[in-house]
Amino acid sequence: MTALAVADLRVRWAAGAPAVRGAGFDLRAGETLGVVGASGSGKTALALAVLGLLPDGARADGSVRLHGRELLGRSDAELSRIRGKDLAMVFQDLASLNPVRTVGAQIAEAVRVHRRTSRAAARAQAVELLGLVGIPHAPRRARAYPHEYSGGMQRRALIAMAMAHDPSVLIADEPTAGLDVTVQAQILDVLRTARASGTATVLIAHDLGVVAGIADRVLVMHDGRAVEQGTAEEVYRRPRTPRTAALLRSAPRIAPRPARARPPGPAVLAVDALVRHHGAVRAVDGVTFDVRRGETLALVGESGCGKTTALMEIVRLARPPRGRITVLGEDTATLRRARRRTLRRDVQLVFQDPCSSLNPRMRVRDIIAEPLTAHGMPASERVRDLLGLVGLEPRHADRRPHELSGGQKQRVGIARALALEPRLLLLDEPVASLDATTQAGVLNLLQELQSRLGLACVFVAHDLAVVHRIADRVAVMHAGRIVELGPADEVYAAPAHPYTRALLDAIPIPDPVLERARPRVVLHGEAPDPANPPDGCRFRARCPIHPALPPAARARCAASDPEP
């Protein structure tokens, strides 16, 4: 039976620009449709039109039928009686959670919107729903506020809210975007549970690996049009359009690479036994690594493991609380103010979010020129050179950030970081918010620049497929410590630590047949509390092999944390 039927759907924004141009699909009960495409292809506009949540001034035409009932043209009051009950949505933006109310109270409110029930019964159901989506210690967590949840837990809470009334159709807009691969796997398990109960699901995503593991059928969008539609196996293995083929080619894959020896020479950056605690929180708890000229070291691990904290400690160029940081042969603890300012030219940072890291009131030329001006250097000609270096055109110089795509914004951030010709480039999740096509372009740019300029790079990421493409060496972090460190190909081919193995198992493969057939161990539970980490191996509570170890080995795990 068809649960949702969309035919010849057309959406125009208030300014008249088309967002969706005649898209359509049929979705049956218990079926999952994956909607994929690059940023700006019309995926989210399609979902908002189905729900009747388009912004003021936007217009939708065509047909949207839920169990045969036409939704287009209905008043907002009529749609409000349907939304959340028969038709629910999981929004991409975590800001849809109210920061001043507990998570349990918000879910209980969603329960009571369409159902006459007591507050106590609604609270009890909220706890039950949190448990259903895999939130540990649900009764206690229900009393917590959104800021006390990790990103993955917030996403699961939004799914719990959407599932409060067992909707017949669930629309999930990028529910795994920006999440660790282990959390992604947990979110997909939750969506599979919803599908098993008969819920029809529309999964919107730019990650083709995520879609491959769960979708029955796939709809490919480009420039507002549905350019291809079919079963997951047909679309992935026998794409009929160049656009689909290009999307599949851009999806990151782990494949053998020619082995590369470490470049000779001294380390550009050396970190020795680095510690950074924030009060009781042991954010970084004894980290050691080095990077040489022309080399990329990737710091990988789940959110909260200490990757970004380590990066920020390096960029401070100051005395760390404990341990030692040496940049270009100079101990940062001994730097005087003038020398620190000079050395800062050689160490530059590319931020994760290109939107918030660029001043919205400044033009691109001024953003790129800012570090040059700060150091009293001529900027005009250098800005033109930098635009060309990162693949932007001269016309982009006069634009402001909101006039650029996500990939273009990140290229501006890279150009700004390269303005002073640094020798060490620190990159904090530089492609996490980008779609696969744009992501591939930025990674190609970084590899080309490193080869041309001889940069030493520290690349922080949670996506191990992306890391494999760019990293020479990999340091795997867990709970403030490095648990494995080595050449990328060796770490990926034969991981020594069970945490590394679990991270690799969680990487989605952009092929539905391979993705569903491979054995996988999914990590459950949350990483240890950094304010109160356990003694010994901090991974043992989640370790899939720990219960099967002999007693003597389990005792060693409880007593000491193994060296990488």
Residues 219-235: tens digit of each pLDDT: 999 999 999 999 999 99
Burial 196-213 (b: 16+ CB within 10 A, else e): eeebbbbbbbbbbbbbbb
Would you kindly state where each structural domain of the chain is located, as residue ranges? Answer: 2-86+167-250, 97-164, 263-346+423-508, 358-421, 535-564
Burial 288-326 (b: 16+ CB within 10 A, else e): bbbbbbbbbbbbbbbbbbbbbbbbebbbebeebeebebb
Residue 481 makes CB contacts below 8 A (sequence gap 6+) with 285, 286, 287, 306, 538, 561
Distance between CA atoms of residues 21 and 6, nearest Å: 12
Residue 159 — pLDDT band, cuts 50, 70, 90? confident
pTM assigned to the model: 0.83
Write out the two tokens for 234. 């047909």
pLDDT one-digit tens code per residue, 513-535:
888 887 776 677 677 877 788 88
Q: Determine phi and psi for 226, rounding to 5 degrees.
A: -85, 100
E-assigned strand segments in 139-266 = 169-173, 200-205, 217-222, 225-231
pLDDT confidence of residue 181: 79
- Crossing angle of helices 181-196 and 151-162, rounded to 10°: 10
Average pLDDT over residues 435-447: 83
Average pLDDT over residues 191-198: 87
| Topology alike, domains 2-86+167-250 and 263-346+423-508 | yes
Q: Which of 59-68, 268-277, 307-316, 388-397 has the lowest mean pLDDT?
A: 388-397
Judge whether residue 134 has pLDDT over 80.
Answer: no
Nearest to 540 by CA among 123, 429, 371, 553: 553
Helices (H), 164-268: 181-196, 208-212, 232-237, 242-250
pLDDT confidence of residue 272: 97
CA-to-CA separations, 268 to 204, 376, 430, 470, in angstroms, rounded: 42, 25, 21, 18
Question: If one looks up domain 263-346+423-508 in CATH, what number appears?
Answer: 3.40.50.300
User: Class for domain 2-86+167-250, per CATH?
Assistant: alpha beta
Q: Which of 112-116, 203-207, 413-417 has the lowest mean pLDDT?
A: 112-116
